[in-house]
Amino acid sequence: MNANILILYAGGTIGMWEDPATGTLIPLDLKDLNKYLPEIQGLNVSYEGISLKTPIDSAELTPSVWTELVEIIEANYSLFDGFVILHGTDTMAYTASALSFMIQGLNKPIILTGSQLPLGRLRTDGRENFITAIEIASTRKNNEPLVQEVAICFGERLMRGNRSWKANTEIFDAFDSPNYGNLATIGTHIIFNEQLLFRSKKTLKFSKEMTEGVGVLKLYPGILPSSIAYALARPNMKVCIIESFGAGNVPRNEEFLNVFKEAIDRGVSIINISQCRRGSVDERLYKTGKAFAEIGAIFGHDLTFEAAITKSMFLLAQGFSGENFRLALLENIAGELSEN
């Protein structure tokens, strides 16, 4: 029995066809993909295509797009074996992370892909990414989908969505998963690392709300406590993600720490993640990190920046605050955290 795949076009380069004769970019007609990608016929899959009401440039992404995607997937979940989302590359990791929190209890694949060059160009990477994403979404083992999570298929790799980030603007292998292994290696064959695939123990649940009261502050040598205080005083600030040095280190002087403590006492959750893309923050390693933890900062371990932002938005929308927010942030919801 052929797998039935729903293809969602959210926007981005991969959804645009460049007419070789005129050079004009025109949107793909998802009802006639065989015209653009005749190779799909060799995959033995059935498919349908849906576009967002208003496909967006990747840089124009807002949480409302995530809500629209969740609504479409929920309405069609029982009708399809898997989902492929065509998305702009710049914010693809944010969408992949957000969907992993907004749709819990998945037992089907949601595969995001995109391209660096439009379809129709002679050297486009979109063709291989698109075809491979469909093949992965349709792969089954023991009469169930092999992949049962939100993932990004790009270049030579399949990566967990909430572990990924866009690492390069020029090469075709543009995404990286710095703190978690590839779910599959893509070459002449697709080789799955099945021991790394996520299996949720939760009941299927679709959430459509995200709260945007999340700020970001990147530390640098010489940053003034007054500048930090100004940033933390922003109206409606509920969470602030601090990109700290190395393994979670911050200046240990009293004035600096007091600025954060005052914000925490006001009810602002402070999440500490590293400026380094690889590795983890750990309050146990250095006195500077320990002092930050002692005033109530939450150490986000090896969360990616994209996962920290979207998970915070999700948890705020679920009504978490204070100690309950801390506990929920440190719960491994969809494979976004490594075991400590």
- Active site residues per annotation: 13
In a 13 Å sphere around the CA of 176, the CA atoms on its Cβ side amount to 11
Short-list 179, 145, 201, CA closest to 333:
201
Report in angstroms the alpha-carbon separations of 144 from 2, 180, 187: 12, 24, 24
Q: For residues 125 and 122, what is the distance between their CA atoms, to the nearest angstrom?
A: 9
End-to-end CA distance of the chain: 42
> Strand ranges (DSSP E) for 87-238?
103-104, 110-113, 140-141, 144-145, 150-154, 157-160, 165-166, 175-176, 184-186, 190-192, 205-206, 214-218
Q: Are strands 184-186 and 190-192 parallel, antiparallel or unpaired?
A: antiparallel
DSSP structural state of residue 245: B
Residue 241 near residue 308, CB atoms below 8 Å: yes
Give me the residues paired with residue 153 across strands: 158
